[in-house]
């Protein structure tokens, strides 16, 4: 079994938004999909630990904004790496408007939104799949939709290689790169031993 085969399923990336008690909420999801076209129904699958999960349960309505290929990591970070329990994700953020259902949708780095009214939910253990009637859907931009694969390859920051330590020979200035200078190390230039080296990073 190769778990990488799971990455070959093609997903989009979306901001799922809702509201509770006058407070806007939302998170990044890749699990929005159309279920049936007549009636028009979609599902979103949300981790039970997410603030947005509890908001959806109470509100019963949401919007899904489809993100585009030019989405900066900052937007993913804002909605996908923080919780609305701790911060107001809409504070200092102006790229949204309100749909007819009164809920936010993303106006920049998105090309459309779909409004859903929840009619059913499926308990999946860690997640809940919310099934909703589409009550409205609109095009809001021209750019191509962002896929999960494109996000992984082009938007998500690559982990930086751990910076290695370094030692300098106090006699000739030769730099040894490595976290630990071996006790029996001999400088290849001036042939002094490890005790002639100082740690510089």
Residues that bind ligand FMN (CB under 6 A): 13, 25, 27-31, 45-47, 50-52, 76, 80-85, 151
Closest distance of CB 27 from ligand FMN, Å: 4
Contact 2, 27 (CB under 8 A): no
The residue among 101 and 128 lying less far from ligand FMN, judged by its C-beta, is 128
The residue among 45 and 68 lying less far from ligand FMN, judged by its C-beta, is 45
Closest distance of CB 129 from ligand FMN, Å: 10
DSSP-assigned letter for residue 151: I
The residue among 31 and 170 lying less far from ligand FMN, judged by its C-beta, is 31
Could you tell me which of 71, 66, 201, 57 has the C-alpha nearest to residue 118? 57
Q: What is the dihedral angle through the alpha carbons of 72, 74, 78, 79, rounded to the nearest 10 degrees?
A: 20
Could you tell me which of 5, 7, 115, 6 has the C-alpha nearest to residue 64? 115
Rounded CA-CA distance 21/54 in Å is: 12
The residue among 72 and 193 lying less far from ligand FMN, judged by its C-beta, is 72
The residue among 80 and 165 lying less far from ligand FMN, judged by its C-beta, is 80
The residue among 90 and 197 lying less far from ligand FMN, judged by its C-beta, is 90
DSSP 3-state assignment of 54?
helix
Closest distance of CB 199 from ligand FMN, Å: 38
How far apart are the two ends of the chain, measured CA to CA in Å? Answer: 43
Contact 110, 15 (CB under 8 A): yes
Closest distance of CB 121 from ligand FMN, Å: 13
Give CA separation, 171 vs 71, 121, 144, in Å: 52, 72, 59
Closest distance of CB 86 from ligand FMN, Å: 8
Closest distance of CB 79 from ligand FMN, Å: 6
């Amino acid at each position: 079994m190769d778990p990488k085969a799971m990455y070959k399923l093609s997903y989009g990336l979306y901001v799922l938004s809702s509201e509770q008690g006058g407070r806007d909420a939302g998170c990044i999801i890749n699990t929005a999909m159309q279920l049936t076209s007549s009636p028009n129904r979609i599902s979103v699958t949300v981790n039970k630990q997410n603030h947005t999960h509890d908001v959806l349960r109470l509100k019963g309505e949401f919007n899904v904004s489809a993100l585009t290929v030019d989405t900066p990591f900052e937007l993913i970070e804002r909605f996908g790496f923080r919780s609305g329990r701790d911060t107001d994700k809409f504070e200092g953020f102006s790229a949204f408007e309100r749909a007819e259902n009164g809920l936010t949708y993303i106006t920049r780095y998105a090309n459309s939104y779909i409004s859903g009214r929840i009619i059913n939910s499926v308990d999946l253990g860690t997640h809940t799949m919310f099934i909703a009637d589409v009550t409205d859907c609109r095009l809001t931009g021209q750019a191509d939709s962002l896929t999960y694969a494109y996000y992984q390859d082009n938007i998500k920051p690559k982990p930086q290689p751990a910076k290695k330590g370094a030692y300098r020979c106090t006699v000739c200035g030769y730099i040894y790169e490595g976290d630990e200078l071996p006790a029996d190390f001999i400088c290849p230039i001036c042939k002094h031993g490890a005790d002639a080296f100082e740690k510089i990073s």
